[in-house]
Each structure stands twice: as structure tokens, then as C-alpha cells.
Structure 1
């Protein structure tokens, strides 16, 4: 059977060397394509082109979409004003990732959103975000660990009757590297995992074979954690239909 092509949405980083000063580069942490390849998919990194027709052609050539981590999502995209703890945003990255998510859903493509990708998935379908976890709770646990993301940080508690529960069980110890989080879950989605301080750690679209957002960074654990790799295997398998 032909291996499915998995689109991985690119991010942007600026080059500050004199000869390329201010130029944008497409960037993706290589652990994303590694995890997809290990799960028997073929990773394809999508450069950010500000053209909806090209975006549709990019998607149409693939079988599934992975929305990776990255910079903050601009709150204007979910009709809120920026608050003081908002971090770096980029309008092109937001436009591109939100449109990728919306068009992929129109095409009934499986989607896996990771960290920022989970937040983009929620925003693209009408949900909102906490611009910083401190706005969500007065007693947060550590969500932005100082240790390498191959190390685990805190538990998540997982709802039954969910894809995440089928893979990870009732609870799992995960890594963590975020300061924004899902606030209001988008219509037609459900919250399927939370951290001990109540921060939403996973969302899933109802009545879809695989449209899942994960707030932690499984791509950083998949190489040495069989259970985490099973998340990517489940995603890639869903892209074969």
C-alpha cells in the first residue's frame, strides 16, 4: 500500500546575516518529519505562500495535515484584543495555518495539531485562547519547562471515549513548552485532556475519524517513547483511507 503524504505546515524565521538581513526562511523542527517517517508516512514540508489557490494545491497533493508548534496566535484572529503577556505573532503564519486547517477540514483530511497547532485548530473553528496561562488560573503548574523536551514534565488526565484515551489511557506524563492555551473550545470539538491546574491539553473534533489537537510536544518524545509514537501511527493510518 502506498504510504500517505503528510503535509507539515512551515513556520517562518528571519535571517539577520548582513547579506540576507530581514529575509524569511521556512522552518520546521526536524522531529516532526522524523516522527511521521517513523510512523510510516511521507513528510512533506509546506512553505508559506500567500496565495489561497497555491495553498489548496499544496493540500490537495497530500493525505493529511500536521500543524506544528511555533509562535503565538494573534488574538485579533479570534476577535480579542492583545493583552500584556502576548508574545511574538506573525500575520502571514496565522493566515496560512488557519486557512490550511479550514481547507483541510473542507477536504475531510485527518489533522494533527501540536502545541500552537492545537491552538490554531481551535481558533480556525471558532474557539478562543488564553493569551497567557496566568490569565486562566491563579495557581498554574509548570507549563514551560527548562529541561529538554525529551524529558517529561507533568501529568495530563484524559477523558474516556476519545482517541487520546485509546492511545495514552486514563493519564500520562508529558512534556510542556507553552504559555498560551485553549480557552473556549470550538463548536463541534470536545476537550479530551486537562492538566492538574485545569489547562486544556487535548481537543478532538466530534464525529471525525481523526482531527486532534495536542497541547504538549509528542514529536520530541516519539523517538524514545513507544506510546507517544503510537499517536503518530494512528494519525498516519487514518490518512490511508
Structure 2
């Protein structure tokens, strides 16, 4: 069976290499590609480019990955002191989200990806989530990766159907989330403190947008719990590929 072709967005960072310190690089944690490939897809990494339509026309699915904050100017808020923003990445990913919806292209949006998806269609964010039992300040790496909180999924939502349960426990590696959902989208998951943890489109666009990081839940039991999300996304990409192949064949 042909593997659907999935693009995953990257994060521009400065890294040390044999050619010098602080070299600019487009990066992505290996944990993003692994579960997508395990679900049966082929993966390509997507740095920002002006050729958004050309990229989308070649994809069967899109992963909007996590990373740094989106520039608050995108939704009418003030920048945070000491924060820097990647305006090129913001513009690229917002254009990808809009183009994907126009095409009905399946999208898995993770953390920042959820935030990009909401901003792209007119929603806004909480610039800094108030501290609560469920959302502590961002900690050192080990503590942050091990932090967990419960969520409740909306009964009847596509996400609840994917997981087969209305109640889950997920990781928490974010200090922002949705404030006002974009028109045409609805929240479908929340923490006990009321923070939105997932959204879906009101129409049949196959979008799974989650605030947690399913790819970073790598312990065997947690990875097994998250596998249905990647499987559903890749299955939707496979259907998209088949439908477009049939449509192209019919025009010959």
C-alpha cells in the first residue's frame, strides 16, 4: 500500500556545528516523525518557503508542530518582555493552515500548531496562562516532560471517537492556549481549570488540533494510548491521497 505523504513544519534554531557556533538550522525533534511513520506515512520536513501552494499540492497530510510563541501582534495582543518571535514561520504556517482548509487536507496540529490554526482563522490566545494546579510555570526540561494533567473530551466529538473515552491524562508543555475560538471552530477538550486543550472545525475538515504533545508521550503505555490519534490522521491522509488520485485519473 502506498504511504501517504505527510509534511511536518520545522523550528528555526541556532545550533553549534563543525562550521561554527550559532549556525541557523531548521530543526524538528525526531519524536514527531516516528509515530507518523509508524502509522504508515512517509514524512518530509517543511521549512518556511514562499511556495505554499506548491507544497500543499504535493502533500496528503500536514503536521503543524510545536515551538516558540506566535507573535501576539497576529491576534491584537502585546509582546511579552524578553520574547522573540519568528515572523517568517508564523506567516508560513498560517498560510499552510488556510490552504489546507481550502483543500480539505488532513491536519494534525500540536501545541503551537493548535494556536496557529486558531489564529489563522480569526481566533485569539491567552498570552500567559494563569498558574493553577493543572498549569504550573514552565519548569526545567525533565520536570516539564514528566508533568501531567487530566482532560475531558466533548462527548460526540471526533477526538473522543478517536480515543474511545471522554477522560484522559496528557502532558503539559505550554504556557499559552486558546482564548477566543476562531469562527467555525469549537473547543472539544478542557482541563479542570477550564483551559481549552483541543479544537475541531464545525465542518468536515479533518483537523485534529491538540494543546498537549502526543509525540512526546513515549513511554510504552502512553505511546499506545496516543497511537489512535496518529492512526486516524494517517488514515485520513490515505483517503485524501486516494480521492485525489482518482480525481486526477478521471480528468485524463
On whether the aligned pair clears a TM of 0.5, the verdict is: yes
**Would the alpha carbon gap of residues 230 and 18 (structure 1) be closer, same or farther in structure 2, given more than 3 Å must change?**
closer
Considering fraction of residues, name the structure with more helix: 2
Per-residue deviation at 1:222? 5.4
d(CA) in 1 for partners of 2:126 and 2:237?
31
Task: Describe the shift of the 1:148–1:6 C-alpha distance in structure 2 as closer, same or farther (beyond 3 A).
Answer: farther
Matched, 1:142 2:154: no
The aligned counterpart of 2:76 is 79
1:1-241 counterparts in 2 under 5 A? 1-15=1-15, 19-20=19-20, 23-49=23-49, 51=50, 54-84=51-81, 87-134=83-130, 139=132, 141-143=134-136, 144=138, 146=140, 147=142, 151=146, 153-168=148-163, 169-221=165-217, 224=220, 225-241=223-239
TM-superposed CA distance for 1:16, in Å, is 5.4
SS of residue in 1 equivalent to 2:55: helix
Three-state SS of the structure 2 residue aligned to 1:178 is coil
Instruction: Determine if contact 2:70/2:116 at 8 Å carries over to the other structure.
Output: yes
Distance 2:54 2:143 in 1: 37
Q: Output the aligned Cα RMSD.
A: 2.1
Q: In structure 2, how many angstroms separate the alpha carbons of the residues matched to 1:167 and 1:206?
A: 17
Distance 1:61 1:145 in 2: 39
Give 3-state SS (helix, strand or coil) of 1:192's partner.
Answer: strand
Q: 1:150 to 1:36 in 2, by over 3 A?
A: farther
**Structure 1, 204-213 or 155-164: larger mean CA deviation:** 204-213
Match of 2:247 in 1: none
**Structure 2 residue matching 1:3: 3-state secondary structure:** coil
Which protein has the larger Cα radius of gyration, Structure 1 or Structure 2? 2
Report if the CA contact (8 A) 2:129-2:135 is conserved.
no
Contact 2:71 2:85 in 1 (8 A): yes
From the superposition, tell whether residues 19 and 40 of structure 1 become closer, same or farther in structure 2 (CA, over 3 Å). Answer: closer
For residue 240 of structure 1, give the secondary structure of its aligned residue in structure 2: helix
TM-score normalized by structure 1? 0.89
Displacement of 1:175 in angstroms is 0.7
Query: In structure 1, how many angstroms separate the alpha carbons of the residues matched to 2:16 and 2:208?
Result: 36
Report the TM-score when normalising by structure 2.
0.85
Give the count of matched residue pairs. Answer: 234
How many angstroms does 1:81 deviate by?
A: 2.3
CA distance in 2, matches of 1:22, 1:150: 25
Query: 1:88 & 1:199 partners in 2: Cα distance?
Result: 24
